[in-house]
């Protein structure tokens, strides 16, 4: 099997993978291999088109024009297109993520036509680092084509994440899990629940938890009037606060329609008399693991379904090796590089970005967060890609 040599290999074609491609192509490194099962904007298109964004339309526009290769794609696109559609929306408001997904798909289609880009529909089975040459040999599996190998000095992982599921601390409990991705897609949610009297538990108070509650409550006003909700949460609602030149809780606080709904209907002083309060019971699970387990044991047995909105977990990575041996590593959230576990030694030519490998940011109050969002990925990459190229 012949081995193709490329200046870089990018794994993943979601928003972060597309942003990496734009930044690398702008620096004219040479040929770049791009690997993804479908090249259709990842989970944003597949799962989250119906989710209201917490980002203003203007920032999606800024993402779309942030690199010269992106601008070239936009200029060569027939109108009307995803970019002209975004331009017609109110730039200061949010929008459904379907608009952003279409923008990512259009950028993807344009980048794949560029001479330097070698796109492979498939996945990376393994990547092995030769410590002497600092070269990675990457094995690619393609469903309808022969396997192939690529060698490169730069391997960039934009492999994405999925909703976290954690064990439910109630032994012997019979309850059906509802996937958070499904609950965030109203067109699927309406078909997943029976119209007979049903109680759904939802765990969490994040942005996705509040959107999930909003989608469930909407069903109670339309197709599922017998649906009831038990909301188990450890802490009060937290909102993004706009300060002078920065945002407190920019990555963890509620924004947009989720914040508007929570303020109007879910706060303790509103819940008793709000429309949401007629179908939803809030259960305080604060006070530590034992207190939480006791509340779960008390309230979950009366529920048919449970939704966990408790964060996101990295999707499985390809098998990463050094000299044929498994590579233990830790991500450096400041540089986008990886270190060998338990040491300060940088792993040659291995980098990451996106929701699986976000930038760590510290606000003026000293709070540490991880920056997740289209334009946040772009800002991070603008800062770190020059060092990746030099490496």
Question: Mean pLDDT for each consecutive 10-residue tract of the chain (391 residues)?
Answer: 89 98 97 98 97 95 98 97 97 96 98 97 97 96 91 98 95 95 98 97 97 98 97 96 95 95 97 97 96 97 97 97 95 98 95 98 97 97 96 74
Close Cβ partners of 295 (under 8 Å, ≥ 6 residues apart): 232, 283, 284, 285
Instruction: Answer whether 3-160+315-390 and 165-311 agree in fold.
Output: yes
Question: Contact at 8 Å (CB) between 154 and 338?
Answer: no
| Domain extent listing, the chain | 3-160+315-390, 165-311
φ and ψ at 249, to 5 degrees?
A: 55, 45
DSSP H or E run through 368: strand 368-371
Write down the pTM of the prediction.
0.95
* Topology at the third CATH level for domain 165-311: FAD/NAD(P)-binding domain (3.50.50)
Q: Which residues of 290-307 are buried (b: 16+ CB within 10 A; e: fewer)?
A: eebeebbeebbeebbbbb
Which residues are CB-contacts of 29 (< 8 A; sequence separation ≥ 6)?
7, 8, 116, 154, 389
Residue 1: per-residue pLDDT: 60
- CATH of region 3-160+315-390, choose from 3.50.50.60, 3.40.30.10, 3.30.420.40, 3.30.1330.10: 3.50.50.60
Q: What are the distances in angstroms from CA 29 to CA 109, 326, 349?
A: 20, 29, 14
């Amino acid at each position: 099997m012949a081995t193709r040599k490329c200046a870089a290999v990018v794994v993943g074609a979601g928003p972060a993978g597309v942003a990496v491609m734009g930044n690398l192509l702008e620096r004219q490194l040479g040929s770049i291999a791009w690997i993804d099962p479908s090249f259709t904007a990842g989970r944003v298109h597949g799962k989250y088109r119906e989710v209201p964004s917490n980002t203003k339309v203007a920032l999606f526009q800024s993402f779309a024009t942030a690199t010269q290769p992106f601008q070239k794609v936009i200029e060569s696109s027939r109108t009307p297109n995803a970019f002209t559609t975004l331009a017609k929306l109110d730039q200061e408001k949010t929008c459904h993520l379907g608009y952003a997904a279409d923008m990512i798909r259009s950028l993807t289609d344009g980048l794949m036509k560029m001479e330097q880009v070698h796109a492979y529909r498939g996945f990376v089975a393994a990547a092995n680092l030769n410590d002497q040459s600092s070269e990675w040999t990457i094995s690619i599996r393609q469903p309808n084509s022969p396997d192939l190998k690529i060698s490169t000095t730069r391997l960039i992982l934009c492999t994405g994440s999925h909703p976290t599921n954690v064990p439910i601390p109630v032994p012997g409990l019979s309850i059906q899990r509802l996937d958070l991705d499904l609950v965030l897609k109203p067109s699927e949610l309406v078909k997943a629940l029976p119209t007979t009297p049903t109680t759904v538990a939802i765990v969490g108070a994040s942005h996705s938890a509040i959107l999930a509650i909003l989608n469930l409550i909407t069903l109670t006003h339309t197709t599922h009037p017998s649906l009831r909700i038990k909301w188990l949460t450890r802490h009060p609602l937290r909102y993004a606060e706009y300060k002078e030149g920065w945002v407190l809780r920019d990555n963890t606080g509620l924004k947009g329609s989720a914040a508007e709904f929570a303020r109007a209907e879910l706060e303790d002083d509103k819940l008793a008399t709000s429309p949401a309060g007629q179908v939803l019971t809030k259960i305080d699970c604060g006070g530590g693991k034992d207190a939480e387990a006791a509340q779960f044991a008390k309230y979950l047995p009366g529920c048919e379904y449970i939704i966990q909105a408790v964060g996101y977990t990295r999707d499985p990575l390809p098998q990463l090796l050094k000299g044929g041996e498994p590579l233990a590593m830790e991500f450096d959230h400041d540089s986008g590089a990886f270190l060998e576990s338990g040491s300060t030694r940088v792993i040659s030519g291995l980098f990451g970005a996106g929701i699986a490998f976000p930038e760590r940011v510290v606000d003026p109050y000293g709070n540490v967060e991880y920056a997740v969002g289209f334009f946040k990925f772009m800002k991070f990459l603008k800062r770190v890609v020059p060092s990746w190229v030099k490496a």
